[in-house]
Amino acid sequence: MWQAVIVGLIVLAATTYAAWALLPAALRLRLARHLAATARRVGGPAWLVRFADAIAASALRRVGGCSDCSAVQAAPTPPKGRDRT
């Protein structure tokens, strides 16, 4: 009996992690911020607020953007010393 409960919890945790990892980053961030706000609003225990804040911070780090990656290059500038006539 207990083995089935433990296996069920492990499967539930793995499924939740896989669904979370495969969500689009914007949706994951919105859900994490909603979870953090809900934990603060209901006056939840301190560990739940810290956990929700950690999830929101992790989701924010994973959103990223192309502005800070090394593949982004500045717009090309025209060569100096050439006359445009």
pLDDT digits (tens, 9 = 90+) for 4-47: 999 999 999 999 999 988 888 888 888 888 888 888 887 778 88
Q: What is the pLDDT of residue 11?
A: 97
- What is this structure's pTM? 0.55
Instruction: Report the number of distinct structural domains present in the chain.
Output: 1
Residue 51's CB is within 10 A of a number of other CB atoms, namely 15
Whether 13 is in a domain gets the answer no
How much is the pLDDT for 15?
A: 96
Q: Is position 83 within any domain?
A: no
Q: Is residue 80 part of a domain?
A: no
Q: DSSP letter for 66, please.
A: G
Residue with the bigger pLDDT between 19 and 53: it is 19
For residues 69 and 28, the model is more confident at 28
Radius of gyration of the chain measured on its C-alpha atoms: 23
**Separation between Cα atoms, residue 67 and residue 63, nearest integer Å:** 12
For tokens 């100096």, the residue is 80
User: 32 lies in which domain range?
Assistant: 22-64
What pLDDT, on the 0 to 100 scale, is given for residue 74?
56
Tokens encoding 2: 């207990």
Q: Residue 29 falls within a domain, yes or no?
A: yes
